[in-house]
Structure 1
Amino acid sequence: MVSKDFRGKGAANYLLETMIMKAKSIYKVKHLLLSCHSTNSRGLAFYHKQGFEPIDMRITNLDEQKIITIQMKLKI
């Protein structure tokens, strides 16, 4: 999550690029997996723009409410 004060300024992109770089160089990771709630349309759009592809969906209980969670994958 990115603080409201830093949204739209490239903070999320910088954090994701840094995580990808470290995952590849230090841990030799081939894929990143993440979960994003279906109610987070801004997050889903961001991850799609970054190349993540949906691979599954699950129903998650959050605060006693059921929310669809989209599972996404990025080959790095």
Structure 2
Amino acid sequence: MPAFTTNVEFGDWVKSGKVILGAPADGPKMSYLRILAKKYNVPCFDTLDETLQAAVERNRRMVRETTRRITPDA
């Protein structure tokens, strides 16, 4: 059974800078989410591997940025 994210849930997060989109290129019910992602420069990936790599890298960047703000002398 597919795990669909609703358009509402995605719309709530799309402008946050914390979202990436991963789905097969021919995934069902994805056209609106892909359009919205493009509008807000959300990275899109067609494979699980690419999506996970992007998520890990985004998380690493966010941790580094947060650490710099909390401990500016580090």
Normalising to structure 2: TM-score of the pair? 0.35
Normalising to structure 1: TM-score of the pair? 0.34
For the pair shown, the structure with the greater C-alpha radius of gyration is 2
Question: Structure 1 or 2: larger helix share?
Answer: 2
Question: Structure 1 or 2: larger strand share?
Answer: 1
